[in-house]
Each structure stands twice: as structure tokens, then as C-alpha cells.
Structure 1
């Protein structure tokens, strides 16, 4: 989980996170600055949660924390976050998307993949 800021003004834009599902799928989720206050006490890194009533849209961001992340979840004022009672479910805390070393040069100038240059 991280706070996304405007590079020019340092103003907070959103609270961002990667959500990982029970099958290892991941998606970038965004809490817009207007509703961050509504979720700060409910969102804790590493906790298992259920999220309801959110919006999904195409991910048009320049940088994407999920390599093949074509979609993004947006929290709204109507979004509901519930901590799961059973926190013993085996969901990985981290997920990495490795590529063949030979593919790295083809990704260097494509910022959406966050590979580097």
C-alpha cells in the first residue's frame, strides 16, 4: 500500500494498493483522495478483506504496478470493506512477475512495465 502524490505539488492523489486473490491473481486498487479518510482504519497491509461495491475501469495509467494490469479497481463512497474472520487462508503476501532476461531490453522504454532503462 502506498500514497500516490502529484510530483509537482506533493499533494496526495490517492491511496494505492495491490490486491491479491486466493488464486494468486492481482489487481491495482485505488482509493481516491476524497474518500481516503473513510478507509484508513479498515485497510492494513497483510490482512484478508472482502471488498464490495467498487468500480472497475480500464487502466490507462502510464505506470502499472501489475504487469498485465489492464483493469483497475476504484473505491468509492459506497465501497464496503470487511475484514475476513478467517485470517489463516494461504494467500501470498507478495507476488512477482518475472520475465526472461532476454526480454528485458524490449521493455526498457515502455514505462508501463516498470522494468527500468
Structure 2
């Protein structure tokens, strides 16, 4: 999808198999936009190196401009957000860290 949006990484964790905690399946994210809407995002293992490293590390609570990703139905067994879609990063996904003092820090969802 070729949309641009600004999001904060509210939560970030490594998905690993139960029996192989040193094997990375993916990096999972919960992203929140300026309106407080949340969506789950996945960085699959084959493309993790594009987004996690010294030069371009995505960090929890970081604010980013993102575009060029895959939008797919959120059919996860355990849902982290109520959003009906989720994002999947690809090698073409662009993530740029940004700053915006007006962007809220509301990480709670009651």
C-alpha cells in the first residue's frame, strides 16, 4: 500500500518459537496514530535487518513516518488491537524517524 502516515511505536517485541527462544520469527509492533487509533504491524524475519540495526533501529516509543507496506486482514488468533487490518513490512517499506512535539503520548486504551 502506498500510504504515508505518522505513528508512534507503542509496543515492540520479538516473536520466537516456544522451544527455540534464540530463533527470531518476526518483530511485532503496536502502532498508534495521531488520533489514538492502533494497528498491529509485523516485520517478518527475512526483512528484519532492514529495520533493526545500528543505522536504522526502530525503537519502542519512537515516532516515525512510514509508507509502502502490505495491508492484510487481522486474522491473528490473539489480537493486540481491535483494528480489522494489520500491516506487514516488506523490503520496500520506508521508515523515517521524526519529531513532533504535538504528537500525543497517550499509550493507554481503556
Superposition TM-score, scaled by structure 1 size = 0.74
Larger fraction in strand: 2
Q: Which has the larger radius of gyration?
A: 1
Q: 1:69 and 1:29 mapped to 2: Cα distance? A: 11
Larger fraction in helix: 1
Tell me whether 1:60 sits opposite 2:72 in the alignment: no
| Structure 1: stretches of 5+ with no match in the other structure | 99-117
Task: For residue 94 of structure 1, report the CA deviation from its aligned partner.
Answer: 1.4
Does the CA contact (< 8 Å) of 1:46 and 1:93 recur in 2? no
**Which residue of structure 2 lines up, in the alignment, with residue 102 of structure 1?**
none
- Tell which has more relative contact order, 1 or 2 (C-alpha 8 A, sep 6+): 2
Does the CA contact (< 8 Å) of 2:36 and 2:106 recur in 1? no
RMSD: 1.4
Task: For residue 60 of structure 1, report the CA deviation from its aligned partner.
Answer: 1.1
Superposition TM-score, scaled by structure 2 size = 0.78
Tell me whether 1:36 sits opposite 2:69 in the alignment: no
Does the CA contact (< 8 Å) of 1:20 and 1:91 recur in 2? no
